[in-house]
Copies of this chain bind each other. A is one copy, B any other.
């Protein structure tokens, strides 16, 4: 079933211990869409500038991604520049140029209206709510956010959170949004703000899902008492962590959308697929690894994720 993602399509200039990449294709919607496209049809809503070439678009369309919702505006595309040092856990931002993104007004093509799964990538919660409001009949809504919106746009964000099935954020964001240094208490506080389920991404340590009574239908309530933790793969060569979290979200949500029903078993496997896609994403700069990925590699790596974490 189709996932509709709204978010940024951008160019990134990235420096890491592995080297430097100039203006490679990036943006949350891009990474998410590529990762999810291995599991289910994906449709993108975004805006790009005149610097976005047919070759850039082909990176998406070659993976079967529907780009009819990407508006082409006068001016330049969203641009981000950053660098990673040491253990590559955190980027130092050098430049952020919103460009055409500063006046982004999401337009939903008629052909997208039957999308059953909606992903609200990390953008202004006002835009997230706007798209959510235009898609009242979707089966499931997942979303991401960041410190900037948590700190300065709490009221707008609260409206989005109140309608989310799954919120995917990282440790720092969870502690900030949940207003507690303890991650379990923070998770509890975040769930009280609306999301039925919270997935906290731990970077190189994997991810943990915290459940509520609303996470699953009644027959699965025995699964909500204990959180679930999916591993990450220890990698000897991390080239570029940019987009790893969005690739995680794409693998996670793509797998869910490919399954007939959301059971605890599906949810747990989805977290593993999230880790798998995130682990590929960081092996090359930008979208390079996911754009070239052979689907068979996904199942091979899923088997490694099982081996790394399972007793028998």
Contacts and interface: CB of A to CB of B under 8 A. Distances in A.
A113 interface: no
Interface in A41-82: none
Say how many copies of this protein the assembly contains. Answer: 2
A202 interface: yes
A208 interface: yes
A236 B185 contact: yes
A284 to B, nearest CB: 16
A102 interface: no
A184 B236 contact: yes
A86 interface: yes
Contacts of A234: 183-184, 187, 208, 210, 227, 229
Contact of A229 (B86, B187, B308): B308
A175 B87 contact: yes
A26 interface: no
B182 A236 contact: yes
Interface stretch (A29-37, A253-261, A265-273, A291-299): A265-273
A312 B265 CA distance: 7
A312 B181 CA distance: 31
A251 interface: no
Contacts of A312: 265
A306 interface: yes
A183 B203 CA distance: 13
Nearest to A223: B307
A304 interface: yes
A264 to B, nearest CB: 10
Interface string A135-179: 000000000000000000000000000000000000000010000
A181 B227 contact: no
A226 interface: yes
B205 A265 contact: no
A216 interface: no
B184 A268 contact: no
Interface string A219-263: 000000011110100111110000000000000000000000000
Interface string A100-120: 000000000000000000000
A296 B235 CA distance: 37
B175 A235 contact: no
Contacts of A228: 308-309
A182 B311 contact: no
A204 interface: yes
B308 A272 contact: no
Contact of A308 (B226, B307, B310): B226
- Sorted nearest first, the 10 A-B pairs with minimum C-beta distance are A205-B205, A184-B236, A87-B181, A86-B181, A229-B231, A184-B234, A226-B307, A268-B311, A229-B308, A185-B236
9 contacts: A87-B182, A182-B235, A184-B234, A184-B235, A184-B236, A210-B234, A228-B309, A231-B231, A310-B310
